[in-house]
Structure 1
């Protein structure tokens, strides 16, 4: 099972994303800010990090830089609300400084799953088994 570290300070958003990820077969650890995420990162050892950029304590950009210092290869998806041009600049900045992908909030199930599919093709990230896939579907792939 793929392990994702989800870092989001907004409770409703975090619960929404966690539900999507778990329903898709991912094991999810939650953090409410960057400091909390760094503590969990060491013990949980996720395959992917999904982080908000604007948070209290240690923000997402600082988290990305700290993670990259110790693990330059882990896929990181950064996200934030982009109501203004400055938001788009910050998303681009996050990609320039270590985020693998940057997404604008509000995240949808479709945009999140597309991002995870992209990462699974580019990185050695295991994909969760599709729970709706029948064994007969696997045998009839011609």
Structure 2
């Protein structure tokens, strides 16, 4: 049986340029116990990451300006003590194999196609933390 708040105690940074999507993802994750900071861009994410030190990053891939691939490459270049090893989930409207491979090669641990079911999102985050917390 799943605990009532499977994400309790987790800090999650959500990077999503679409206001409605950012609100939806934040609401879903907070409803299951996570503490969420949501920002609209890669630039904003890089500003808050060192201080926030989230357990998980959930990032859209297709964003204006700097995309999610560029963001995760910059994050992976950081030292671990400033967020360089944060667990990361790529969110994208592209569910094809090429997009998945590119996300993994860029530094994400997993790739999720939008729209994502709320229960699936919570399960993906919880499973990622349970099995891959490095």
The secondary structure found in structure 1 opposite 2:77 is helix
1:32 aligns with 2:31: no
1:73 aligns with 2:61: no
By how many angstroms is 1:91 displaced? 2.5
- Computed over aligned residues only, the root mean square deviation of the Cα atoms, in angstroms, reads 1.6
The secondary structure found in structure 2 opposite 1:29 is strand
Structure 2: gaps of 5 or more residues: 1-8
TM-score, length-scaled by structure 1:
0.79
Structure 1: gaps of 5 or more residues: 126-142
The secondary structure found in structure 2 opposite 1:6 is strand
TM-score, length-scaled by structure 2:
0.84
Q: Which residue number in structure 1 is paired with residue 122 of structure 2?
A: 113
By how many angstroms is 1:57 displaced? 2.2
- 4+ long deviations beyond 3 Å: none
1:97 aligns with 2:106: yes
How many residues were matched structurally? 122
The secondary structure found in structure 1 opposite 2:85 is coil
Question: Which structure has the bigger radius of gyration?
Answer: 1
